[in-house]
Chain A
Amino acid sequence: MVRFLIFLLFSSWAIISAVGVITFTNPVYVILWLLSALIAIAGIFFTAGAELVGALQLLIYAVAIAVFYVFVLTAVPWEKALKKGTHYRAEGILSFPLILLLYAEMLIVFLLGVTASPEGKFRSLMAKLGNTEVVGSILFTKYFFAFEVVSLVLLIGMIGAVLIGRKESQTYENDTP
């Protein structure tokens, strides 16, 4: 019961922070709301018993990626965009029924479909070893090839970011049609 109360606390915190992410106009406030949402989602992971994913969420998302966004916000001046509005209001109102349609579709899947059958293949192993060791052992044995492919994707992403973001010798600001 206490665990469910903590889950409700973290999930309501995450949803409030998500509303803040999509409504605030100043990008600095938006990155702070996103950081709050990421920490709340890490709390949801901890209540689900996934300590490794929660810790990596805190380390990678809430530290590395958030700091990266802050760096880009300092490189790009956003005062000009702030002056002429930061939201598509008409498009938002028009797309809101589509979001409700998405929710209705998921609700139909909930009500009609069979959600899951508890199998518990690793539950005894997890009680003996703990979450982190089980996840690590499965990751480095059964999914080792996918792990290596992900490292290759990260390398390609790094090379692509360096190639895209490097300084050009000339700019083309005057030939915009």
Chain B
Amino acid sequence: MKMIPLEAYFVVSMVLFGLGVLGLIVRKNLVTVLMSLELALNAVNVAFVGADAHLGLVEGQIFALFIIALAAAEAAVGLGIIIAIFRLRFVESTDEITDMRG
């Protein structure tokens, strides 16, 4: 447990979080936007658990469990919104949902 430095976990977490944010910006399909969001949440989990293993605490793992539970709730609500958008408008791409552009 002491052999892996804390910085290694943080570098992996940073790279995964940047890729997730880039996917959030770049993607057009709504479902893949939510998938990129899941990737960013997992990157935060990696940072929590890595800091935990370095410090010898368990609070980070508890917060990682909370993040997993909230990601499940977010996936349920977000995918319900996507299905509702498709059912009402027959679109699922973010460049076609322009009702609030003004």
Chain A interface (Cβ < 8 Å from any Cβ of B): 1, 3-4, 7, 11, 14-15, 18-19, 21-22, 27, 30-31, 34, 37-38, 41, 44-45, 47-50, 52-53, 56-57, 60-61, 64-65, 68-69, 72-73, 75-76, 78, 81, 84-89, 91-92, 95-96, 99, 102-103, 106, 110, 115-116, 118-123, 126, 131, 134-135, 138-139, 143, 146, 150, 153-154, 156-158, 160-162, 164-165, 167-168, 171-173, 176-177
Contact (A3, B79) CB under 8 Å given A76-B86, A87-B28, A146-B66: no
Interface residues of B in 60-102 (CB under 8 A from A): 61-62, 64-66, 68-77, 79-84, 86-90, 92-93, 95, 98-99
Question: Which among A61, A88, A115, A146 is the interface contact of B26 at CB below 8 angstroms?
Answer: A88
Given the complex, which residues of A lie within 8 Å of B65, measured CB to CB?
52-53, 56, 135, 139
Name the prevailing secondary structure of the B interface residues: helix
Chain B interface (Cβ < 8 Å from any Cβ of A): 1, 3-4, 6-10, 12, 14-16, 18-23, 25-29, 31-32, 34-36, 38-39, 42, 45-46, 49-59, 61-62, 64-66, 68-77, 79-84, 86-90, 92-93, 95, 98-99
B61/A53 in contact, CB under 8 A: yes
Q: Considering the complex of A and B, which 9 residue pairs feature the smallest CB-CB distances, nearest first?
A: A157-B73, A22-B23, A123-B56, A120-B56, A165-B80, A161-B80, A48-B53, A92-B26, A164-B80
Bound: A20/B22 CA distance, A: 12
